Structure 1
Amino acid sequence: MDKIGHNDSSNEKLHMEHAEAEQMLDDIAFYRTLIVNVIFIGKEGSEDWVLVDCGVKHYSKRIMEAAEKRFGTNKPKAIILTHGHFDHVGSAKQLAEEWKIPIYIHPMEMDYVTGKRDYPGGDPTVGGGLFSLLSPFFPTHQADLSKYIHPLPTDGSIPFLEDWKMIHTPGHTPGHISLFREKDRALIAGDAFITVKQESSTAVFIQHQHIHGPPAYFTHNWEDAEASVKELASLQPSVVITGHGLPMEGELLNKQLHDLAENFKELAVPKHNRKIH
């Protein structure tokens, strides 16, 4: 992969110099792209690795730089998307074009990433934070990924990830998925739940760690969201990496996740949605 050229801004060069994934397990690492995590599944130097989610737009070079530091010149076998929101698919098209690899997403998300449907707009009345207020301006129409996108198998298997299974966890979006590995109970939860209060810019920037429901400004089916959290809590994950926030593990993870599952309406659902819920 070519390094950043001399015509790039000094700011871009600075970001590239620090584009390095942080290891969570020996075969799972993550890299934060502004406000959202992208996840590398594969041991350092592996020829068989997969990228989960692609962050926001204009981060493809930085993601590739982080990938090169971890895997050398080895390209990923595929990109798996937990869902199609702008902050998870923003750099997907550029990465798929550069690496010449397929992208996979749940069949119920296909229309949103092929130009057929738009997601509902953000709700500025939830959460009380800056990101909530800005959410109506977040993109709801995504780049057309038709050239690269494929539906994930309906049997729960995930291409190129034999040890992992797909769990359909709707609510945040209709076809949202999580990834789970039974042998060590590792969980990649996307935005089914997260470990930072995403509505608050202060919490996001200081990365205050605590389990929360899905980002409220982009969640439109709270009954499904609750059922998804309950299902994930029942798995008793040993470690989790979510779409937003830092990884969590052990007793603290399970205590907070079970608290969220048992008290979802009070802890996650915006007040003006609770009667509907």
Structure 2
Amino acid sequence: MMKKSNDGKFIPMTSVNSNSGQEVTKDVFYYTNQIVNIVMIGEVGKEGWVLVDTGMPKCADEMIAVARSRFDEHPPAAIVLTHGHFDHVGNVVDLLTHWPDVPVFAHPLEFPYLTGLQDYPEPDTSVEGGMLAKLAAIYPHESIDIKERLFPLPEDGQVPFLSDWQWIHVPGHAPGQIALFREGDRLLLSADAIVTVRQDALYKVLMQKKEINGPPRYLTTNWKAAYDSAVKLQQLRPALLIAGHGEAMEGKDLTMGLSRLITEFDKIAISKHGRFVD
């Protein structure tokens, strides 16, 4: 039987882009749920689409309404989870109840957090940063259990139901975090390995101020892996990036921002202190 996390609750956070979406190509649409992005891959009105991540807790009705507005009553062919943090799996149990035949795919290293075996470490509120770093104490961190519908991503890097996409292991923020990349148009879904807003600064999150940043500091436990993952994604030379947090970016701003992030990762991304900072 599926189970939500014991500490799952509505988080009273928002941004100027909350409850709005943007179609970046004819088959890729991202939607901002409070402060996190979900992505729907598939052409409007057609079957076989794929949902990437499921948003903040207690927002399932909103997710279903967005899906219905784009794909009518067609359920997704699958849900792909970039990782298991609360803001990416917040509605997965309710969505699986609503769509009873939909499988979920994730990296095996995330399975302990998705099958009730292990909780994530509590958010590190001691990191350098703004108000959101301090408020992270209220964020859920306990595991969910969806093992009856959960499957490992194929080892060959293919994404189920998306033949032109590949998944890429980008740990650091979470052990089994993945990004998705489409070579044809160099479109990258970076999850939280790279974000386009300073996620620990309340004003910047509220206003969705665009800037390339490393993963959210208060939930990142391995900074060496986080740096290596950022380098791996920059080397893909993405033309368009949709991150787990922040607005989509492309062109010169994206290229220069990624270059600066890698060059100055210690300064831009890593806190000067914290439980997981060496």
The TM-score normalised by the length of structure 2 is 0.90
Asked if the contact 1:21/1:67 (under 8 Å) is kept, the reply is no
1:275 Cα offset (Å): 11
Secondary structure at the aligned position of 1:162 is classed as strand
Aligned to 1:32: 32
Residue 224 (str. 1) matches residue 225 (str. 2)? yes
Retained in 2: the 8 A contact 1:265–1:274? no
- Other-structure match for 1:244: 245
CA displacement at 1:276 relative to structure 2 = 5.6
Contact 2:118 2:143 in 1 (8 A): no
SS in 2 for 1:272: coil
Question: Larger relative CO (CA 8 A, sep 6+): 1 or 2?
Answer: 2
Aligned partner of 2:152 in structure 1 is 151
Deviates more, 1:265-274 or 1:119-128: 265-274
Contact 1:19 1:65 in 2 (8 A): no
- Contact 1:82–1:190 (Cα < 8 Å) also in 2: yes
**Equivalent residue runs for 1:29-108 within 5 Å:** 29-100=29-100, 101-108=102-109
Q: Partners of 1:37 and 1:45 in 2: how far apart? A: 21
Give the C-alpha shift of residue 273 in structure 1. Answer: 5.8
- Cα distance between partner residues in 2 of 1:73 and 1:273: 46
The AA in structure 2 aligned to 1:124 is T
| Distance across 1 between alignment mates of 2:110 and 2:37 | 19
What is the alpha-carbon distance in structure 2 between the residues aligned to residue 86 and residue 63 of structure 1?
15
Which residue of structure 2 lines up, in the alignment, with residue 196 of structure 1?
A: 197
Equivalences for 1:128-277 in 2 at 5 Å? Answer: 128-272=129-273, 277=278
Number of aligned residue pairs: give it. Answer: 260
Paired with 1:236 and 1:158, the residues of 2 have a C-alpha distance of 20
State the match for 1:9 in structure 2.
none
Partners of 1:148 and 1:216 lie apart in 2 by 31
Structure 1 CA distance for aligned equivalents of residues 21 and 44 of structure 2:
10
Runs of at least 4 residues of structure 1 off by over 4 A?
A: 273-277
CA distance in structure 1 between the partners assigned to 2:107 and 2:117 by the alignment: 15
2:5 equivalent in structure 1? none
Structure 2 gaps of 5+ residues are: 1-17
SS at match of 1:253: helix
The 2-side partners of 1:274 and 1:43 are apart by 44
1:74 deviates by: 1.3
- Between 76-85 and 92-101, report the one with greater CA deviation: 92-101
Letter in 2 for 1:172: H
Distance (whole Å) between structure 1 residues aligned to residue 133 and residue 87 of structure 2: 14
Q: Which moved further from structure 2: 122-131 or 215-224?
A: 122-131
Question: Kindly tell me: are residues 127 and 269 of structure 1, through their superposed partners in 2, closer, same or farther at Cα, counting changes over 3 Å?
Answer: same
For residue 90 of structure 1, report the CA deviation from its aligned partner: 0.5
RMSD over aligned Cα, in angstroms? 1.6
Deviation of 1:232 after TM superposition, in Å, equals 0.3
TM-superposed deviation, 1:72:
1.1
Say if 1:31 and 1:63, in contact at 8 Å, map to a contact too.
no
